[in-house]
Amino acid sequence: MDWSCWSVSLVIVMVIKLQVGKASTEIPPIFVFGDSTTYVGTNNYLPVERARADFPFNGIDYRDAKPTGRFSNGYNIADTIARLFGHKRSPPPFVALLRNQPFFKRNVLWGANFASGGAGLLDFTGRQLKVITIREQVEQFGTVCNNITQVMGESAEKVISNSLIIISIGSNGIFDYLLYNDTHNEEYFITTVMQSYHYHLTNLLNPGARKFGIVSVSPIGCIPRYRVQNPTGECIEERNLYAQKFSIELEGIMQKLSAEFEGMKYSLGNSYEATSYIIDNHLAYGFKDAITACCGLGKIGAESPCLPNVTVCQNRDDFFWWDRYHPSQASCEVLALTLYRGSQKYVKPISFSQLVEDI
């Protein structure tokens, strides 16, 4: 995963040009599920007061400096993964597509983004925020599959099976569990969330989904929000241990499902290992700072969310972190390229790019 001799943006542009050279029919539809790491504005359409980012300085490096709802200065990891597969960016939010009924059935043939900031694997995660749970996201995918069948007829099965299912979820459940429970039982919690993950993956497989790009939980104990709580300024290891255990158990779930469902292919990105490596070697990737939030207030920019009245850094590509929870556009580019082309240390049993080799 050593891109240090190259500009990451240049590498991504080169890969995108190769992908765009394909016939449009070879660019797979992409369906994105998860939380704020892959979310592109779903909550803009909901009666949600928090878990929103449709205001400055979010989007400061997006087209026309538009705050789209992404927790990013520009694109997030869902956008960059989609670009690597030949799309312009992540598909729009499902709820936005649904509002344009005359073109809904046609537009969903290219994909949809169901992710909702604040969502988790358990139904009660994000419930107070009134976001769209992973259960509801999977149900929305069922609606899309029904519409694809209506439009494509007998060809629908192939369209759905060739579609890419991108999922990034899990950190919010860990945040909530450690915050709201006086006693912590790691084994119980991990078992519970893995049962939920298995259930929801099965409900994506049953309608015909077969190609999965899964992003595991990153070292959440190292985000600025938690570093600032540690008197030493170091990562909070208890949270990291939960993230590590999550990744280990998720690998077992994916192996089990791939043995049960014929034709299933998956690529499991070890976000924990990849992110840890990039942070530890941030200078080699062009980042001058892998601790401080670019947009925020107080110590390491982590004592306030990214709001219009806070301080925002000028050289945003120098920062790994955008706000106190989320990576910057530049770091998402590095992470996405690692998933797309990385070694088995970071993504296995195959890379994301290999998911579409037979299309």
DSSP string, 141-183: HHHHHHHHHHHHGGGHHHHHHHSEEEEE--HHHHHHHHHH-SS
Pair 196, 122: CB distance under 8 Å:
yes
Which pLDDT score is estimated for 4?
45
**Domain for residue 185, yes or no?**
yes
Query: Under a CB-based contact definition with an 8 Å cutoff, are residues 62 and 74 in contact?
Result: yes
What distance, in Å, lies between the first and last C-alpha atoms of the chain?
A: 26
> What is the 8-class DSSP label of residue 327?
B
The tens place of each residue's pLDDT in the chain, 359 residues long, gives 554 444 555 555 555 544 544 544 479 999 999 999 999 999 999 998 889 999 999 999 999 999 999 999 999 999 999 999 999 999 999 999 999 998 999 999 999 999 999 999 999 897 778 899 999 999 999 999 999 999 999 999 999 999 999 999 999 999 999 988 888 999 999 999 999 999 999 999 999 999 999 999 999 999 999 999 999 999 999 999 999 999 999 999 999 999 999 999 999 999 999 999 999 999 999 999 999 999 999 999 999 999 999 999 999 999 999 999 999 999 999 999 999 999 999 999 999 999 998 65
Which ranges of 38-130 would DSSP assign to H, the alpha helix?
A: 77-84, 94-99, 101-107
Query: Can you name the residues that pair with 30 across neighbouring β-strands?
Result: 111, 164
Q: Is 323 a catalytic residue?
A: yes
- Position 9 scores a pLDDT of 56
Active-site pick, 35, 36, 87, 116: 36
- Residue 13's domain spans which residues? 8-356
In a domain, 173, yes or no: yes
**CB-count burial class (<10 Å; 0-12, 13-18, 19+) for 229:** exposed
Q: Which of 87, 200, 282, 326 is catalytic?
A: 326
pLDDT (0 to 100) of residue 7: 53
Which residues, at least 6 apart from 279, have a Cβ–Cβ distance to it below 8 Å? 219, 222, 290, 320
Residue 186 CB burial class (10 angstroms; 0-12, 13-18, ≥19): middle
Structural domains in the chain (count): 1
What is the spatial distance between Cα 164 and Cα 264, in angstroms, rounded to a whole number?
11
In a domain, 3, yes or no: no
> Would you say 82 and 220 are in contact if contact means Cβ atoms under 8 Å apart?
no
Catalytic residue among 35, 176, 317, 323: 323
In a domain, residue 73? The reply is yes
pLDDT score at 153: 95
Write down the pLDDT at residue 188: 95
User: How is residue 112 written in tokens?
Assistant: 């949809």
In a domain, 329, yes or no: yes
> Is residue 36 among the annotated active site residues?
yes
- Beta partners for 34? 168
Q: Please indicate whether residue 326 is annotated as part of the active site.
A: yes
Cα–Cα distance between 42 and 52 in angstroms, integer?
9
Q: What pLDDT score was predicted for residue 141?
A: 98
Does a structural domain hold residue 2? no
| Residue 112 within a domain | yes
Tell me the pTM.
0.93
Describe the crossing of helices 8-20 and 329-341 by its angle, rounded to 10 degrees: 60
CATH of the domain at 343: 3.40.50.1110
- Kindly state whether residue 1 falls inside one of the protein's structural domains: no
- Helix H or strand E segment including 335: helix 329-341
SS3 262: coil
